[in-house]
Amino acid sequence: MIFTIKVNGQAHIVDVDDDTPLLWVLRDVLGMTGTKFGCGMALCGACTVHVDGVAIRSCVTPIDSVGTSEITTIEAIGATVVGARIQKAWLDREVVQCGYCQSGQIMSAADLLATNANPTDAEIDDAMSGNICRCGTYARIREAIKQAAAT
C-alpha cells in the first residue's frame, strides 16, 4: 500500500504493507538510521520517536496508524528547544557509553520535559523506565534531565 508520512517536516511516499512497523519504514525504507531496533516488542525503548510530540515505540506502531501526524526522530529533535537542551546536557554530563540506546533515551526525555518542565525524581523514573540502557548510564541520564530542566 502507498502511504504518505510526514517525518521531520518532510513528506515521504512509501509502499509497504499496512501493518509494517514505523521503525522499519524509518530505518530501512527512508534510511533514517538514528532510530534503533532493540526488541521489537516495545520493551526497551530504543526505537522511541515522537508522533505529534508524544513519545511512542515505533517498533510496534503500524504505519497505517500514523496518518498525517507529524513524526519527529532523533535526527531532528535538536531543532526543538527542549531537544537541543537535552542533547547539550547529555554531552555536558558525559552520559553516553556505547550510545546505541541513547536516541531512544533522548526522545523519551524530550517528551517528558516538553510536558513537565520540572520533573521530580519519581516522574523522571516513570517517564524513563521504559528505556533500557545495557551500559547502565541511568544515573547520568537522570542528572542530565535535571540539568536540561534547569536551563
Partner 1 sequence: MIVDQQAPRVSGPSEPPSVNTLSRRNFLRAGAAAGGGLVLSLRLPFATGEAEAAADNVFTPNAFVRIGSDGKIVLIMPYVEMGQGTYTAIPMLIAEELEVELQQIRLEHAPPNEKLYVNPLLGIQATGNSNAIRGAWQPLRQAGAVARNMLVTAAARHWNVDPTSCHAERGEVIHEATGRRLSYGELAAEAARMPVPENVALKRPQDFNLIGTPAKRLDTPAKVNGTAVFGIDVRPPGVKVATLAQSPVFGGRLKSVDDTAAKAINGVRQIVRLDDAVAVVADHMGAAKKGLEALVTEWDDGPHARLTTEAIAAELDEALLTPGAVAENIGDVDHAMAGAATKVEATYRLPFLAHATMEPMNCTVHLREDGCEIWVGTQALAKAQATAAETAGLPLDKVVVHNHLIGGGFGRRLEADWIARAVEIAKHVDGPVKVVWTREEDIQHDMYRPMFAHRLSAGLDGMGMPVAWNNHYAGSSVIARYLPPAFNNGLDPDTTEGAIDLVYDLPNLHVEYVRVEPPGIPTAFWRSVGPSRNVFVVESFMDELAAAVKQDPVAYRLALLDKTPRAKAVLALAAERIGWGERLPPRVGRGVSLQNAFATHMAQIAEVEVAKDGTVRVRRVVCAVDCGTAVNPDTVAAQIQGGIIFGITAALYGEITLKDGRVEQGNFDTYQILRMDEAPNIEVHIVQSQELPGGMGEAGTSAIGPAVTNAIFAATGKRLRKLPVEASALKQPV
Residues that bind partner 1 in the complex, under the rule CB under 8 A:
16-17, 19-21, 23-25, 27-29, 31-41, 43-44, 46, 73-75, 78, 87, 90-91, 94-103, 106, 124-126, 128-142
Residue closer to partner 1 by CB (options 15, 68) is 15
Minimal distance, residue 111 CB to partner 1, in Å: 15
Sheet arrangement for strand 10-15: 10-15, 2-7, 70-72, 48-51, 54-57
What is the C-alpha to C-alpha distance for residues 140 and 92, in angstroms, rounded to an integer?
10
Minimal distance, residue 82 CB to partner 1, in Å: 14
Positive or negative torsion for Cα 118, 120, 122, 124: positive
Minimal distance, residue 46 CB to partner 1, in Å: 6
What is the C-alpha to C-alpha distance for residues 109 and 125, in angstroms, rounded to an integer?
10
Residue closer to partner 1 by CB (options 114, 132) is 132
Minimal distance, residue 150 CB to partner 1, in Å: 18
Query: Quick check: helix, strand or coil at residue 31?
Result: coil
Positive or negative torsion for Cα 49, 52, 55, 56: negative
